[in-house]
Each structure stands twice: as structure tokens, then as C-alpha cells.
Amino acid sequence: MNPDYKKFIGVLEKAKFNKNDRDSLQMYDFDFASWPIDFSYNESSIKPANISVEAEKKKENGFLSKLLNIPMNFLEYILAHGLARPMGYPGSVKLLQTAMAPAIHQGRTILIEKNGIRSKLLAKDGNEIDTMFLDKRKNNDNGNTLVICCEGNAAFYEVGCMGTPLKGGYSVLGWNHPGFMGSSGTPSPSSEGNAIDVVVRYAVSKLGFKCEDIVLFAWSIGGYAASYAAMVYPNIKGVILDATFDDITSLAIARMPAFASSIVLRVINNYMNLNNTRHLIKYSGPIRLIRRLREEIITTIPHDPSTNRCNFLLEKILSFRYPNVVTKESIEVLHSYLSVDNVASQAAVLKSLGYDNKNDFEDRFAIKEDRPSFPLDIGRTWSQKEKSNATIFLAMKYLDHFDASHCVPLPSQYFLLPWQHKLI
């Protein structure tokens, strides 16, 4: 037997029985299925909020109805697993993983060389989640904040968005979706929820961060896991969502033939209901959205900024949090502001709308407590002009614009912690 391989086998066997020997495994790259469990979801004592994430399914009434629906249910199942899941999460397709393997291996090596710690977490549903942690707590003040990164549908922590907060000096924890490279299982709303749940538990119970020191950073479809974690762990410090949509339904329907809209809706409702808005309206912490000005993936009409689903996510968040301010008339003003694809045009739109940035909205939105209870009862007596101006003010606080297409890596200067209400 090769001496190096024999040494590796010895290290692996020792690590399986003694967690104190796990550090030695970081020096080896091997089939992650053989890596021992470093942390299990039931090792944590923290309790998430008791909020269900499962989509509501239509109940069939009576035996005959169930019998008649068997063919349709079978078709839904085939479409969900054979078409919707590979299209929604192409990173789970082995062919893509094989093609990207060299880049992924190189990216993982670089992270390990930066003192990254790779770990395997056991989720509640039995899936094993591949993670990478870089600890910057001893480097600077930003290092005391942990950024948990949630990747896109064809991205991996090895070659994903971890680099953005790392350049800002933050401690960073990356993980791969179920079915992506080292993570087992298949991606779905429930498995995504279980995966991010064990990641947060690991961050708190094993890595030693408080929820109040954790920021969730997501790109694209990773917004589902991030928004879910914000909902069930409401003390999370903040959420930053880059190129993220409100609900996958509109995007799916826009990309399928019109005659298939009915079956598309059924498949989404029963198997792929990725509704970020539903999560975020149950989270009262700071939120920051980043909209790509040349977005081509999460628009329902290619390159039409007015159809960017990030716009609708912003609108729904603001409408829920500030119902007296974000009225029907205010939303029309917001739509005008979001309908252009460059900063110069936005300035022209604001001028045409008569936006006045001299209003003391920072003070008028001030609150007495650290974490407001939404919806806020602010603006009830304001004029419509004030409400429209306040809506634009809020949009500027919640939303940043990045002049790029969907897949361009986010520069570190755009990684800013979300705006918070001024305290009285």
C-alpha cells in the first residue's frame, strides 16, 4: 500500500472516532461521502420560531376525486423531478458538476489555504451538508460578524459569493445546496429549509456566534434559504439579497408555453413553491436588496427592468411594513422609479416626479425600539405627496443598484449592512 494513502487511512479512521483528530482531515481532499459527521442538528439547543414553510396543497375530496387525479398527480411528479428540479437547480445535475469539478477543486483548495475549515453537517431530514468556514474574528471588527452565504442555482461555495464578504473582512460560512457536490440529497423547499437550519445551528452552537451577529447573504435562488432562516431565526442581524425574486411562479410561467400554465402552477404549488415574500414579511429585521440593472434571468421580459422580480419583492416588503405610506398611488411612483436601467435615467425620473430629498424622513421614520414591530402605523396623516416621496426614500434605503447582468460577481463595495430605523 502507498505510504501516503496508508497514512491518510489512519487519519480518517482516527477522525471517525475522535472529533479532536478532525483537523488533520483538512489536509486531504477525498470523497466527501466518507467524511465523518462534524455536527448534527440535534446537537444544538437553539429553538427556531414555530413557523411552517411547507406549501399549502389542495386537498382532494373523496375517493373518486383522488382516483381521477392519479394521472395528473403522476404527471406532476414526473415534471417536478424530471424537468422543474434540474431547471431550477442545475447545480444538482451530475453532468454540470463533472464539468465544473476542476474549478470547484481549485476554489476549495484556495479556501483551505486561507485557513478555511471544511465540515459536514447532518440536517434533520438526513441530508449531509458540505460547509466551509473562514474565521476572521481575530483580524478586525467586521470579523465579529458572521456572513452565511447562500449560493445560486448553479453555484457552489467553492466558486460562489463567499469572496464578496471575505474581502470586507467578515467571518464567512458557505454551504452547498442538497445534491450539490459534497452535499447529499436533492434540492427542494423542504430540504433547503432543513439545510439552512442546521447551518445556522452550527454557526451558533459550534462556531460560537450569536444570531444577533449573523448576516444572511444570498444570491439569486439562494434567497429562498436565506429568507427562510430569517423567518425562523428572527433575531438574525440582517439579510442581504442580491438578484433575488419575490416568488418563482411568475418566472416559471413566463418561460413556459401559455397552454402549460395550469400544470406549471400545480407543479410549483406542490413541489417547488419558492416564495421569498412569504418568509420576509415574517421577519422584522433589516433587509437590503441589490438589483442588477442589466438583469436577464429574473425578469419576465428579457432586459426589461420594469419586469425584474426584485422590484416586486421590494414593493411587497415596503407595502407590508409601511401600509399607510406605500399606497396605490405611491406604488405607481415606485414603478416609475424602477422602470429604468441606469442611474442617470433614475435621476431624471426622480426630477420629473418632483422628488424632494430634503424631507426629514430619517427622523419621521424613527422608532423607539431596536427591532420594530411591522407593519408600522406611520404616515396615516401625511399628504399623498409626502407618501410618494417617503416611498422613494424607503426604496433608496432598502435597495441598491448594481450596473451588471445576473452572473457578474458582486464587488465588495456593494456589500453594505442593511439600513436600520433611527432610534428616538
Q: What's the per-residue H, E or C state across 190-242?
A: HHHHHHHHHHHHHHHHCCCCCHHHEEEEEEHHHHHHHHHHHHHCCCCCEEEEE
Global pTM reads 0.94
pLDDT at res. 343: 80
Beta-bridge partner residues of 292: 402
Reduced to 3 states, what is the DSSP secondary structure of residue 168?
A: coil
Peptide bond into 375 cis (omega under 30): yes
Residues 6+ apart with CB under 8 A from 62: none
Mean pLDDT over 231-256 rounds to 96
Q: Which pLDDT belongs to residue 21?
A: 66
Question: In this predicted model, what pLDDT tens digit does every residue of 328-385 receive, in sequence order?
Answer: 999 999 999 999 888 888 888 888 888 877 678 999 999 988 889 999 999 999 999 9
Query: What is residue 56's predicted lDDT score, i.e. its pLDDT?
Result: 44
Residue 61 has pLDDT above 70, yes or no: no
Residue type, 105: H
What does the pLDDT read at residue 64? 65
- Tell me: pLDDT of 1 over 70: no
If you compute the radius of gyration of the chain from its CA atoms, what whole number of angstroms results? 23
Residue with grid cell 412569504, as numbered in its chain: 278
Separation in Å, CA 309 to CA 38, 257, 277, 360: 38, 20, 11, 30
CB 379 within 8 A of CB 321: no
Average of per-residue pLDDT across 114-119: 96
Q: E strand or H helix at 10, and its extent?
A: helix 3-17
Taken in order 217, 219, 225, 231, the sign of the CA dihedral is: positive
Q: What is the mean pLDDT of the chain?
A: 92
Using alpha carbons only, give the angle 48, 54, 57 rounded to the nearest 5 degrees.
155
> Residue 63 — pLDDT band, cuts 50, 70, 90?
low
Reported as a pLDDT band with limits 50, 70 and 90, residue 286 is: very high
Q: What percent of the chain has pLDDT over 70?
A: 95
